[in-house]
Amino acid sequence: MVEEAASAPLGTQATTPRRKGRAAGLELVDLGSESPNPPRLCSGIDELDRVCGGGFVPGSAILVGGDPGIGKSTLLLQAMAKLASDSARVIYVSGEEAIDQVRRRAKRLGLSESPIALASETSLNSILDGLKSEQPSVVVIDSIQTLWSDQLTAAPGTVAQVRACAQELVRFAKKRNCTVLLVGHVTKDGQIAGPRVVEHMVDAVLYFEGERSHQFRILRAVKNRFGPTDEIGVFEMGDTGLRPISNPSALFLDGRGDAASGSVVFAGMEGTRPLLCEIQALVAPAAFGTPRRAVVGWDGGRMAMVLAVLESRCGIDLSKRDIFLNVAGGLKINEPAADLAVAAAIVSSALDVPLPSKGVVYGEISLSGDVRPVGRSESRLKEAAKLGFDQAIAPNASDDERAPIRVNSVATAYELVQGLHAMAGE
């Protein structure tokens, strides 16, 4: 059950006299007339600005979600420090931490001198009153779950409260042309009292994610009304805060040894940026009963499909074998272009044939066993060349002659398996 305020919908109580007098007509304007592009507020942290589509848009509301302790407050404090030093008026409202805690974090990050105005407050009305008189250009609310509106009796953090508070803050952002950044907690399934209800109201939703055991963090745009949504920003968490990583491929391939069977470098794309990472497969005899299939960092259903294609179209018998698949470095891939790399890793492990250590693989496999072309192959090949790779296994493409590295094109998954069989025979 979700509590709703009994009076008029939130925000419309203060009905202005205009409503009573004349009926509000519908004002129509031309789509074609000029609207200037809004200036963007750049934080100077490239990885963050790119994910936002080139900086924060004034008057937009942005939700930054993420698991507990992943570094949301750290990221926003660092970004706000940059903005504040560029003479933007920045207010950081912490509902979770005391002023001293925020100060201590700023000190650790070396940002104590930044002209950020801090407040520790959880009452929505007090916050809005304060913001109206201060007229900031950027506000951070850390976090939306701690706020409460006196319109509702529900506890802070409940869906009703989160939604009501977010609605008011989004209205404030639009009306005062102020960028509002809302921090939201998510649980693993992204549901409980979660920012999910807020996602529809805000202009952009950024998720900050990462494996706790790894130092790097990924900022992902899952919704953006002012830019593309498939961009990622990569950061490394250290004791002096988050450091942007401008060349993530090097990070994800770091520590890769000589070619072993089952290890394949996948030339992937994250948004507009190519990203190379290692996919590892291990095919082992099943001890007993039903063989195990375990996948980390990729979609299990997609792996089942690739296995079915390998079994029925390429004559590889995997029915009595355990299969483990891992994307090294804790990265999560969701591109169909990884199909061919996964197939190559599994076949390489099953036949115990290492692939060329200086080669990358990408391509989508269809159920018929055909290998289908994927987008942006030029960027993928360029990135591979930049990192010292000299060949690629890839779908047929018309501009292969101009490729920066040698492309061994395969038209079907069967061709790939034949190629590996031939290498095993040598």
Ligand X SMILES: Nc1ncnc2c1ncn2[C@@H]1O[C@H](COP(=O)(O)OP(=O)(O)OP(=O)(O)O)[C@@H](O)[C@H]1O
Chain residues in the site for ligand X (CB under 6 A): 66, 68-74, 96, 108, 185, 237, 239
| Minimum separation from the CB atom of position 166 to Mg ion (A) | 17
CB of 237 or CB of 325, closer to ligand X: 237
CB of 215 or CB of 412, closer to ligand X: 215
| Minimum separation from the CB atom of position 368 to Mg ion (A) | 49
CB of 71 or CB of 248, closer to ligand X: 71
CB of 82 or CB of 185, closer to ligand X: 185
| Minimum separation from the CB atom of position 242 to ligand X (A) | 9
CB of 127 or CB of 343, closer to ligand X: 127
Can you tell me the distance from the alpha carbon of 243 to that of 318, in angstroms, rounded to the nearest whole number? 43
CA 149 to chain centre: 31
Residue 73 in contact with Mg ion, rule: CB under 5 A: yes
Give the one entry of Mg ion, ligand X, none that residue 375 binds, where binding means its C-beta sits below a cut-off of 5 to 8 angstroms depending on kind. none
59 three-class SS: coil
Distance from first CA to last CA of the chain, Å, rounded?
68
How many Cα atoms are found within 13 Å in the side-chain-facing hemisphere of 421? 9
Asked if residue 266 lies in contact with residue 361, where contact means CB atoms within 8 angstroms, the answer is yes
Give the one entry of ligand X, Mg ion, none that residue 66 binds, where binding means its C-beta sits below a cut-off of 5 to 8 angstroms depending on kind. ligand X
| Minimum separation from the CB atom of position 176 to ligand X (A) | 26
Asked if residue 65 lies in contact with residue 184, where contact means CB atoms within 8 angstroms, the answer is yes
Q: Which residues contact 71 (CB under 8 A, 6 or more apart)?
A: 208, 210, 217, 235, 237, 242
Structure tokens at 328: 């090294």
| Minimum separation from the CB atom of position 78 to ligand X (A) | 9
Q: Identity (one letter) of the amino acid at 403?
A: A
| Minimum separation from the CB atom of position 16 to Mg ion (A) | 38
| Minimum separation from the CB atom of position 97 to ligand X (A) | 8
| Minimum separation from the CB atom of position 245 to ligand X (A) | 16
When CB distances to Mg ion are compared, the closest residue is 73
CB of 73 or CB of 349, closer to ligand X: 73
Can you tell me the distance from the alpha carbon of 150 to that of 165, in angstroms, rounded to the nearest whole number? 10
Give the one entry of ligand X, Mg ion, none that residue 69 binds, where binding means its C-beta sits below a cut-off of 5 to 8 angstroms depending on kind. ligand X
Please spell the DSSP secondary structure of 126-182, one letter per residue: HHHHHHHHH--SEEEEE-GGG-B-TT--SPTTSHHHHHHHHHHHHHHHHHHT-EEEE
Give the one entry of ligand X, Mg ion, none that residue 406 binds, where binding means its C-beta sits below a cut-off of 5 to 8 angstroms depending on kind. none
| Minimum separation from the CB atom of position 217 to ligand X (A) | 9
What's the chain's length in residues? Answer: 426
- Name the segment binding Mg ion (CB under 5 A); options: 8-16, 73-81, 114-122, 330-338: 73-81
- Name the segment binding Mg ion (CB under 5 A); options: 15-23, 67-75, 365-373, 402-410: 67-75
Give the count of beta carbons closer than 10 Å to the beta carbon of residue 210: 22
CB of 205 or CB of 343, closer to ligand X: 205
Can you tell me the distance from the alpha carbon of 319 to that of 322, in angstroms, rounded to the nearest whole number? 8
CA 146 to chain centre: 24
Give the one entry of Mg ion, ligand X, none that residue 233 binds, where binding means its C-beta sits below a cut-off of 5 to 8 angstroms depending on kind. none
Give the one entry of Mg ion, ligand X, none that residue 273 binds, where binding means its C-beta sits below a cut-off of 5 to 8 angstroms depending on kind. none
CB of 92 or CB of 266, closer to Mg ion: 92
| Minimum separation from the CB atom of position 75 to ligand X (A) | 7
Q: Is 358 exposed, middle or buried (0-12, 13-18, 19+ CB in 10 A)?
A: middle
Please name every residue paired with 119 in a beta bridge, in sequence order, or none if there are none.
Answer: 93
Give the one entry of ligand X, Mg ion, none that residue 255 binds, where binding means its C-beta sits below a cut-off of 5 to 8 angstroms depending on kind. none
How many Cα atoms are found within 13 Å in the side-chain-facing hemisphere of 320? 3
CB of 236 or CB of 364, closer to ligand X: 236
Q: Which residues contact 290 (CB under 8 A, 6 or more apart)?
A: none
CB of 72 or CB of 380, closer to ligand X: 72
Give the one entry of ligand X, Mg ion, none that residue 239 binds, where binding means its C-beta sits below a cut-off of 5 to 8 angstroms depending on kind. ligand X
Can you tell me the distance from the alpha carbon of 309 to that of 413, in angstroms, rounded to the nearest whole number? 8
Give the one entry of ligand X, Mg ion, none that residue 132 binds, where binding means its C-beta sits below a cut-off of 5 to 8 angstroms depending on kind. none
Residues that bind Mg ion (CB under 5 A): 73
